[in-house]
Each structure stands twice: as C-alpha cells, then as structure tokens.
Amino acid sequence: MLKKKIEEALNAQINAEMWSAYLYLSMAAYCHAQGQPGMGKWFEVQFKEEQDHAKILFNYVISRNGKVDLRPIEAVPTEWNSILNVFEHSLRHEQSITESINKLFALTSAENDYATQSMLQWFIDEQVEEEENVQTIIDNLNMIKDNGYGIYMIDKELGQRTYKAASPLV
C-alpha cells in the first residue's frame, strides 16, 4: 500500500507527464507549421512516450492499491521564436522533469518506500537519455545556424524516428 504522501506525489507526476505529452504535441504542431515535418514527427513520438510515462505511473499506483487522481491539464505554449527555440524549450522542460523525478525519488527515500524507488530508477535513467537526445539536436542546430540545407538534413534525420512503447509499460 502506498503512503498518502507518495500517492499524492505520484499523481502529481502523472499530471506532469500528461502535460508534457500535451506540450510535445503543441511543439509538433509548431514544427509542422514551420514546414519541418520531420521535426514535427520527432515531437509526435515524444508525445506518445510521455503518455507511456504517465501510464507506467498510473499502472504502478493501481498495482499498489492506490487511487489515481487525474487532474486538469494546464494550457501549454503554442508559439516559439524559432526551431532552435522550440528545442531549447524542450531541453529546459526535460530538465524540470528530471528535477521532479529526483524529488519524487528523494521522497521515497525519506519514506523508506523501496518498491517505488525501484520503479522510479527506470525514469531516472530515461531522463538522462531524454536530455542527451535534445542537447544533441540543439548542438547540431547551433552548428548549422541558418543553413537551409543543414536544417533540411536535420529535419529528414529526425523524421526517421519511430515510436517504441516504453519498456516497463504493462
């Protein structure tokens, strides 16, 4: 059985993951509107992954006889200054999710909830990968600056990304 503090924190994280999904769908729409369908597709995959993350937490709360409390999702940004800016915003967002997961892990430590810590380890590892992937895209965009052919090539490369369900998804 989950302690109330942990159940509440997990529900807050479910909401954060759903907000992330909504944010990434908004970023996908922005990229498509900018004529960058590959980048749009990349963010669509991010959208699906964030939904998976929420579902993993959802399933975990249920498996521990907890109560899932789905909350309204706040509005997300819909405009950015540039393609680079949308990816920079994505990196800042991933860093905030990393911080949120770390705080949740610290709470489970304080509450001696080792089962939840074990489940959260996957999220910790996932966040390292998420931040690294977005940073690489930012580095590439910074390297090519406004070179149209370079942006075209990055768009084509990002468009090759395919969705794969998150591994602990039940």
Amino acid at 65: N
Sequence-separated contacts (24+) of 145-154 with Cβ below 8 Å = 151/36, 151/83, 154/38, 154/39
> What separation in angstroms does the CA of 142 have from each of 64, 74, 80?
45, 31, 16
Known binding-site residues equal 17, 50, 53, 94, 127
Cβ-based neighbour number of residue 45 at 10 Å: 16
Known binding-site residues for Fe cation equal 17, 50, 53, 94, 127
